[in-house]
């Protein structure tokens, strides 16, 4: 037990990768064995992170369960991991969504072995980002996660769909989407990579806690420029990398493509966790490393956030593809996370105004909770889209209609999940969005006001989605014969159950999770 | 006296070549088994040397010195330092995997393996020579068999052109270097070719500035430096698989290594003077090479130009003249060697079966050749600098070195990372995924167990180095330590 507790983070982090290695040696036609091994293997990190959650002391400041081992001594990078309330929440989200997504992919029949291996590698990649306390380790895991996702999209993505490029060149849509995802993210990370290298050269360390202090204390000139200028450039390099991942308008265009083409479980993880990596980067790196620049450019960030909220909602409303509708809703919802971050940035580091500080805290708490909540509801929504797509082989909203009587259980689940996404009081989305808006209001009043108008359209597109699928005149095509729509099955209900329970629990009693988040964001910067 | 490891390493392939030539050419399997045994022996020895090298003590170890022509100060003087130890290991690895991959060569395997081993001897010799004359001697031994290997066993369409082009380029380069080396010999007044002595010859600044470009660029041609790189893709493409592996995997390092050992180490002041030019040219290598690779449609040319781009990083690391940058360059030599050996092995396997390397005509190779696809993907990730693999571990310090010297260059060079990702991902998808053309259906045979061993071996090396940098970094660092002293603590 002592060993377990003292190496808890490493165990959580590397267990999925080890399991992937084990699966590599299983025979590829034993599909059932592979599926169950993967599922069980992903439940263990979940159990461990629940243990982590119970042993975590939410009243203590700083990082806990810290482990540090030598790694790349020549460039002074160590394998340094640790959790605070922020990373703990995200790690829990990741370890929760992975087994759910693996269970959701039990219907995958093609090359199950490779699929499961990639999925478990992906989990290690994502967890590494959340747990890293060394800038280089952060980057290592940040990039590693791209590879499995790329292959999940272009190998198991939807087979239909052709994209016409310039000069009439045709390309399979999933290939287009996966390459765009990869190149977009890698290009976005270039600035991050270069800025990280610069920090490493400057301080001869990549250790985050010491960088927080030394980088902020730096003054004078650097490479022939004032430090403030260098910091501003580096700030934007970080911001662009993370904004692409979040994604923030106008860097969001890879997202609808990637989501639409990805296999169902891929979309669940993409929306549920991968987008959070970007927001986490803002919180873990941008705010603490660049408080002054963040304060200076808070207005610009808020502007982008509001654009994401408003345009995301409009774009979502305009879609006829169910999956694309849900994809754009992510842009809309993640906009609130950024709005909360921008509000906190605007208040700045040591503001003496008590009321503003309170608002800042509320906004940050809301932003982190919104990350968690969006993870739950987006994963749920994508799964539900997947469920109906698997039965009907269409995602076109105009092909559905009036399905509620045919599939009442599915309909009920879809409505509940949609309502969480819409922000219905009593469900989780309301809590976090309210907190963001409450926190941001006194700080960025006009932006918040516009964002709330955007919220109106959130309601509109979600109701549109529900209406087109469940209500209205029944499309007779699905009512009879071989096309008769079948009800959601037991496995699919088991996938949805934990998500729905959490949606409800957080909606009614958010204190248990906010307690953990609050201390972390107060310490954050 | 200790066991003479280094001379045994150098002469093992040579002796094996002679033995192989004595076997009846019809008994092909005996030829192959002999070759494999010799390659395994050389690999074991180089592993031994690598792992017993005392990196805490640093400096040159496993020294051996035999007088050869004492009146001219020439001796067979062998030794490894932290810079060359990984390269000796690399040669052992490439030789071993090269023999495995060439198992299927049916046209005069006896002569093929004999020439390949003479080449290997020369390569080992260059890496461990501490005598300038012997370095040239082995250098020529390494270059010459290349001509025959390409011209006889190469790709029928371009082999004669490519072999001629390659040989002429490299000979001209080595002649230019030789002139520089002789100038050093006379100017030093020491009447010795002993490089350890020449390191302390205190050659004048004017002399160093004048002769550095001769020595450095003469060798750097073999390292593929722009604008003298264009023999290399042609050579790679025309060469048979194992020769491409040797060529890109080891021979290009030979150029870079000799440029380092003779150019930078013996003429450090000259290196400081010319470093900005080298950096500029290396930058062209990196970025231009990546863009050219992007537009190729021949599978092998893609890899050929990617080598040009990656060798640019090695040169770039040298040109920073900072400890961290040079450490990165040393690591990149090894990492790139393993990676291209793997690439060319994979390309060769696909070509042997599909008989075309034209990317638009290929597709769906993952079904019949799953292991090749996985190996190529891992190699591809190494090449795009994916963290957790050896390429990242090597490129990152190089970039840090550039940051210390000229930040703007780091920013420009970094663009190549995205371009590399794009061409590698596109190549992977077009060759291994998608629909397999109908004419290949049922014609793509499985790979031999020998191929599997080679591919897995190379992949394991790349992954373990990426995950545990301590397996190689301390060696290179101890080698760089010496370099830094020569450069005057810069």
- Structure token digits, residue B391: 């390429």
Sequence spans of domains, chain B: 5-486
A66 contacts: CB under 8 Å, gap ≥ 6: A80, A81, A82, A133
Query: Closest chain A residue to B405 measured between Cα atoms?
Result: A223
The shortest C-alpha distance from B407 to chain A (Å) reads: 8
What is the residue whose two structure tokens read 């050896």? Answer: B390
Q: In this predicted structure, what is the pLDDT of residue B249?
A: 87
Does residue A155 register a pLDDT over 80? yes
CA nearest neighbour of B223 among B191, B252, B192, B262: B252
DSSP string across B125-150: HHHHB-BHHHHHHHHHHHHHHHHHHH
- Structure token digits, residue B87: 């390269």
Is residue B59 within 8 Å of residue B482, measured between CB atoms? Answer: yes
- Structure token digits, residue A8: 């808890």
- Structure token digits, residue A458: 């959130």
ipTM: 0.88
Average pLDDT over residues A95-102: 94
Bin A309: left if φ > 0, else alpha if -120 < ψ < 50, else beta: alpha
Query: Closest chain A residue to B327 measured between Cα atoms?
Result: A74
Average pLDDT over residues A154-160: 84
**Measured between CB atoms, does B426 come within 8 Å of chain A?**
yes
The shortest C-alpha distance from B141 to chain A (Å) reads: 36
Does residue A79 register a pLDDT over 50? yes
B396:A140 CB<8 A: no
A140:B392 CB<8 A: yes
* CA A490 to each of CA A487, A496, A497: distance values in angstroms, whole numbers, following the listed order: 9, 10, 10
Burial of A360 (0-12, 13-18, 19+ CB in 10 A): buried
Query: Closest chain A residue to B414 measured between Cα atoms?
Result: A190
Contact list, B418 vs chain A (CB under 8 Å): 183, 186-187, 190
Sequence spans of domains, chain A: 297-525
Bin A64: left if φ > 0, else alpha if -120 < ψ < 50, else beta: beta
Does residue A183 register a pLDDT over 70? yes
DSSP string across B266-284: T-HHHHHHHHHHHHHHHHH
The tens place of each residue's pLDDT in chain B, 490 residues long, gives 578 888 899 999 999 999 988 888 788 888 899 999 999 999 999 999 999 998 888 888 888 888 888 888 888 888 999 899 999 999 999 999 999 998 888 888 888 899 999 999 999 999 999 998 889 899 888 888 888 888 888 888 888 888 888 888 888 888 898 898 888 888 887 778 888 888 887 788 888 888 888 889 988 888 888 888 888 888 888 888 888 888 888 888 988 999 998 888 888 888 889 999 999 999 999 999 999 998 988 888 899 899 999 999 999 999 998 999 999 999 999 999 999 999 999 998 888 888 888 888 888 888 888 899 999 999 999 998 888 899 999 999 999 999 988 888 988 998 888 899 889 988 888 888 878 888 887 778 888 888 999 999 999 999 999 999 989 999 999 989 888 888 875 4
**Measured between CB atoms, does B415 come within 8 Å of chain A?**
yes
Contact list, A75 vs chain B (CB under 8 Å): 324, 396-397, 400
Strand partners of residue B294 = none
Provide the CA B238 distance to its chain's centre, in angstroms.
Answer: 17
B422:A71 CB<8 A: no
Burial of B279 (0-12, 13-18, 19+ CB in 10 A): buried
Contact list, A74 vs chain B (CB under 8 Å): 324, 327, 397, 469, 473-474, 477
Q: In this predicted structure, what is the pLDDT of residue A39?
A: 94
pTM, to two decimals: 0.91
The Cα angle at residue B147 between residues B141 and B151, in degrees rounded to 5: 155
Contact list, B426 vs chain A (CB under 8 Å): 179
3-state secondary structure A464-521: HHHHHHHCCCCCHHHCCHHHCCCCCCHHHHHHHHHHHHHHHHHHHCCHHHHHHHHHHH
Cβ atoms within 10 Å, residue A159: 9
Buried/exposed A78-107: b ≥16 CB within 10 Å, e otherwise: bbbbbbbbbbbbbbbbbbbbbbbbbbbbbe
Alpha-carbon distance of A410 to B453, in angstroms, equals: 51
Q: In this predicted structure, what is the pLDDT of residue B490?
A: 46
**Measured between CB atoms, does B360 come within 8 Å of chain A?**
no
**In degrees rounded to 5, what are phi and psi of residue B248?**
-80, -35
A141:B421 CB<8 A: no
Helix (H) or strand (E) holding A123: helix A112-131
Query: Closest chain A residue to B477 measured between Cα atoms?
Result: A74
Bin A66: left if φ > 0, else alpha if -120 < ψ < 50, else beta: beta
Strand partners of residue B77 = B65
Average pLDDT over residues A67-88: 90
Q: In this predicted structure, what is the pLDDT of residue B174?
A: 87
**Measured between CB atoms, does B431 come within 8 Å of chain A?**
no
Give A367-410 pLDDT, tens digit per residue.
999 999 999 999 999 999 999 988 888 888 888 888 888 888 99
B470:A70 CB<8 A: yes
A154:B477 CB<8 A: no
| DSSP, res A270 | I
Buried/exposed A485-499: b ≥16 CB within 10 Å, e otherwise: beebeeebeebbebb
Is residue B204 within 8 Å of residue B273, measured between CB atoms? Answer: no
Name the band, by pLDDT with cuts 50, 70 and 90, for residue A525: low
CA nearest neighbour of A139 among A38, A356, A284: A284
**Measured between CB atoms, does B65 come within 8 Å of chain A?**
no
Cβ atoms within 10 Å, residue B107: 9
| DSSP, res B224 | T
Say what the alpha-carbon torsion angle B341, B344, B348, B354 is, to the nearest 10 degrees: 150
Provide the CA A476 distance to its chain's centre, in angstroms.
Answer: 38
Alpha-carbon distance of A240 to A224, in angstroms, equals: 24
- Structure token digits, residue A44: 């263990």
Average pLDDT over residues A83-89: 91
Provide the CA B184 distance to its chain's centre, in angstroms.
Answer: 26
A144:B399 CB<8 A: no
Alpha-carbon distance of A316 to A303, in angstroms, equals: 19
Is residue A95 helix, strand or coil? helix
Strand partners of residue A207 = A134
Burial of B150 (0-12, 13-18, 19+ CB in 10 A): buried
Q: In this predicted structure, what is the pLDDT of residue A367?
A: 93
Alpha-carbon distance of B34 to B28, in angstroms, equals: 10
Name the band, by pLDDT with cuts 50, 70 and 90, for residue A267: very high
Report the percentage of chain A scoring pLDDT > 90: 46
Compute the mean pLDDT over every residue in chain A, rounded to the nearest whole number.
89
**Measured between CB atoms, does B399 come within 8 Å of chain A?**
yes
Average pLDDT over residues A143-155: 89
CA nearest neighbour of B100 among B334, B449, B343, B337: B449
Burial of A214 (0-12, 13-18, 19+ CB in 10 A): middle
Task: Give all strands (DSSP E) within A64-200, no chain letters.
Answer: 64-72, 77-83, 162-164, 170-172
Longest dimension (CA), chain A: 77
Alpha-carbon distance of B484 to B323, in angstroms, equals: 7
**In degrees rounded to 5, what are phi and psi of residue B375?**
-60, -45
**Measured between CB atoms, does B425 come within 8 Å of chain A?**
yes
């Amino acid at each position: 037990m002592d060993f377990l507790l003292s190496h808890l983070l490493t165990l959580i982090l590397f267990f999925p990768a080890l399991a992937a290695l084990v699966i590599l040696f299983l025979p590829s036609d034993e599909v059932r064995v592979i599926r169950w091994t993967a599922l069980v293997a992903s439940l263990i990190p979940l159990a461990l992170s629940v243990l982590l959650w119970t042993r975590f002391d939410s009243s203590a400041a700083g990082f806990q369960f810290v482990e540090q081992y030598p790694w790349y001594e020549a460039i002074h990078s160590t394998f340094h991991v640790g959790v605070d309330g922020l990373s703990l929440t995200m790690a829990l989200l990741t370890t929760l969504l992975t087994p759910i997504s693996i269970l959701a992919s039990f219907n995958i029949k093609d090359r199950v072995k490779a699929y499961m291996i990639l999925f478990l590698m992906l989990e290690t990649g994502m967890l590494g980002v959340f747990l890293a306390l060394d800038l280089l380790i952060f980057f290592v895991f940040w990039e590693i996660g791209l590879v499995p996702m790329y292959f999940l999209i272009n190998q198991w993505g939807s087979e239909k769909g052709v994209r016409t490029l310039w000069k009439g060149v045709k390309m399979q849509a999933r290939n287009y989407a996966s390459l765009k995802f990869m190149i977009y993210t890698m290009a976005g990370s270039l600035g991050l990579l270069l800025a990280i290298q610069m920090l490493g050269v400057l301080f001869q360390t990549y250790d985050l806690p010491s960088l927080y202090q030394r980088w902020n204390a730096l003054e004078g000139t650097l490479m022939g420029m004032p430090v403030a200028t260098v910091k501003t450039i580096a700030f934007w390099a970080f911001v662009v990398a993370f904004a692409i991942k979040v994604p923030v308008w106008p860097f969001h265009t890879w997202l609808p493509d990637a989501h639409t083409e990805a296999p169902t479980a891929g979309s669940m993880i993409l929306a549920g966790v991968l987008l959070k990596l970007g927001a986490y980067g803002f919180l873990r790196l941008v705010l603490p490393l660049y408080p002054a620049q963040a304060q200076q450019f808070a207005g610009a960030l808020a502007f982008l956030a509001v654009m994401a909220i408003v345009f995301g909602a409009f774009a979502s409303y305009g879609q006829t593809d169910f999956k694309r509708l849900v994809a754009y809703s992510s842009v809309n919802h993640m906009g609130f996370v950024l709005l909360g971050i921008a509000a906190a940035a605007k208040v700045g580091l040591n503001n003496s105004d008590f009321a503003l500080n309170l608002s800042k805290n509320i906004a940050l708490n809301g932003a982190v909770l919104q990350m968690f909540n969006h993870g739950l509801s987006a994963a749920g929504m994508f799964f539900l889209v997947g469920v109906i797509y698997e039965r009907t082989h269409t995602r076109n909203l105009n092909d559905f209609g009036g399905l509620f009587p045919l599939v009442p259980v599915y309909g009920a689940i879809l409505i509940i999940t949609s309502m969480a996404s819409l922000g219905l009081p009593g469900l989780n989305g309301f809590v976090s969005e309210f907190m963001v808006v409450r926190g941001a209001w006194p700080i960025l009043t006009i932006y918040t006001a516009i964002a709330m108008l955007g919220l109106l359209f959130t309601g509109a597109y979600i109701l549109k989605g529900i209406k087109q699928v469940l209500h209205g005149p029944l499309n007779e095509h699905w009512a009879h014969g071989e096309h008769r729509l079948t009800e959601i099955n037991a496995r699919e209900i088991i996938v949805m159950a934990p998500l729905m329970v959490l949606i409800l629990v957080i909606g009614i009693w958010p204190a248990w999770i906010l307690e953990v988040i609050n201390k972390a964001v107060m310490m954050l910067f | 006296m200790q066991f003479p490891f280094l001379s045994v390493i150098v002469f093992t392939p040579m002796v094996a070549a002679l033995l192989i030539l004595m076997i009846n050419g019809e008994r092909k399997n005996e030829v192959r088994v002999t070759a494999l045994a010799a390659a395994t022996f050389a690999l074991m020895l180089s592993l031994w040397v690598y792992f017993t090298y005392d990196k805490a003590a640093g400096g040159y170890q496993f020294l051996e010195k035999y007088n050869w022509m004492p009146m001219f100060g020439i001796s067979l003087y062998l030794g490894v330092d932290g810079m060359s130890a990984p390269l000796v290991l690399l040669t052992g690895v490439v030789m071993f995997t090269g023999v495995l991959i060439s198992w299927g060569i049916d046209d005069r395997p006896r002569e093929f393996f004999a020439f390949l081993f003479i080449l290997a001897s020369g390569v080992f010799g260059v890496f461990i020579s501490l005598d300038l004359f012997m370095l040239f001697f082995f250098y020529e031994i390494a270059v010459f068999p290349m001509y025959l290997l390409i011209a006889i066993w190469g790709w029928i369409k371009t082999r004669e052109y490519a072999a001629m082009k390659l040989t002429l380029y490299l000979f001209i380069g080595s002649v230019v270097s030789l002139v520089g080396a002789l100038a050093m010999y006379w100017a030093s007044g020491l009447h010795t070719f002993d490089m350890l002595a020449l390191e302390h010859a205190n050659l004048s600044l004017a002399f160093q500035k004048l002769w550095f470009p001769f020595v450095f660029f003469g060798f750097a041609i073999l390292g593929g430096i722009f604008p003298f790189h264009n023999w290399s893709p042609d050579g790679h493409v025309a060469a048979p698989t194992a020769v491409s592996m040797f060529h890109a995997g080891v021979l290009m390092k030979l150029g870079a290594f000799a440029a380092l050992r003779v150019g930078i180490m013996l003429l450090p002041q000259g290196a400081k003077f010319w470093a900005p030019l080298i950096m500029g040219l290396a930058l062209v290598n990196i970025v231009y090479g990546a863009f050219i690779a992007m537009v190729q449609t021949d599978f092998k040319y893609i890899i050929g130009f990617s080598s040009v781009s990656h060798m640019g990083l090695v040169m770039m690391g040298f040109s920073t003249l900072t400890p961290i940058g040079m450490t990165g360059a040393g690591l990149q030599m090894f990492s790139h060697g393993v990676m291209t050996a793997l690439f060319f092995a994979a390309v060769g396997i696909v070509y042997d079966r599909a008989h075309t390397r034209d990317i638009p005509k290929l597709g769906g190779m993952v079904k019949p050749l799953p292991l090749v696809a996985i190996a190529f993907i891992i190699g591809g990730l190494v090449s795009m600098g994916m963290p957790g693999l050896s390429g990242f571990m090597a490129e990152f310090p190089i970039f840090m070195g550039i940051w210390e010297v000229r930040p703007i260059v780091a920013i420009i060079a970094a663009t190549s990372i995205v371009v590399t990702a794009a061409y590698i991902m596109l190549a992977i998808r077009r060759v291994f995924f998608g629909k397999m053309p109908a004419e290949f259906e049922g014609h793509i045979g499985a790979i031999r167990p020998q191929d599997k061993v080679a591919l897995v071996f190379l992949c394991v090396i790349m992954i373990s180095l990426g995950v545990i940098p301590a397996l190689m970094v301390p060696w290179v660092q101890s080698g760089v330590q010496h370099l830094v002293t020569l450069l005057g603590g810069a």
